[in-house]
A and B are shown apart, each in its own frame.
Chain A
């Protein structure tokens, strides 16, 4: 029996070829994982009548951990996003999105190493919207004490466990005194448990400007859902794009690891896409599973391949296919263990 059973959701478009490459690398790291494959997305509509089949939900409920490729959310068709549904159903309240400098991307910053903790379930994403007259729409922004406290507590603990020094709360409490005020108050309360971590707060618009001017000043940020959605993409832009932007959606007892980027359907089957974002998400998953040695091994090999620049994908100036890049990482790992 394998040490871990993980639900693998390859997703759509380029998702299956990316996930296959990532599976190859993770399996070669020596970690003992049994992969349980599950479906999601538009193909499921025809087969099951839903973007998110019940079998997929049951598999994640059983295994408590999933690695997911990108999916496409149809716009304006009335179908609920499968991604949002997954976060809601499993109450995956912490969206963890680290960004750091990738030498191959040649960015102008001296330092960029930020972990963003985006609250994933509340704010104006609570799906409470009404047309209150024929020319007025409203959306309720819902912020709760327990929802705010737990993301702050989660972020502060993650920071402590991973040797981070500074956690800042991002808000607009000067204007939204009730909602963002509650978010900030809960953060300050949670911070009392972590006197060894430097804590503080910053207003979201100033944070956006400071991130662009001097991203090296930030360590960890805790954000309500909407600001988190925007600023985490801003941070991905600072890093050089979504090709290396991993993500984790974590709850108390379940976690889904996935890249931030979309499914790029026009490249499907061409094995052209850089799988690094899903691979780094996989590395985060291994650490979450307690497989630190395997995670470190893959990470080191990946950065070696990227630094050499010989077998890399087109987005970082190479000509390698998705699986060739994965094989180069595997070869590096094997060379290290000889």
Chain B
């Protein structure tokens, strides 16, 4: 079995706590937009950062833990199904985009935001059994791209941080 360094364990814990707090802060900020399903996706910041420092399996695991805990703390079963589909698809897409050359974490985050909203809309279409709400798709795609951009810009200084990079053995 591969040994996990103490540093990695600490980082996992910090990231899990970080994402939960971000999720909580998000619940506290009421958005003035009246369209259902629009939110900042602050917790995605933790996913992006852990994806860059701990790798794909860690990002997926942390994301899963975050969604389960966050739904237990602030949500219900219904919000769990939305978050789980949105969060996991967005995480998988971000892992894929990270492997494409030429994209920084901003591009990765944008794709994550868009994927998250598309997945949630798909769940809504299935759960509400109403195809007509799919017409919200363009709006949600644009909103996902914008929130993804903001989250990506926030993650950029963290990902670029020389000290963090060297302690995780990332050169370039």
Same complex: no
Q: Interface on B for A, CB 8 Å cutoff?
A: none
Q: Interface on A for B, CB 8 Å cutoff?
A: none
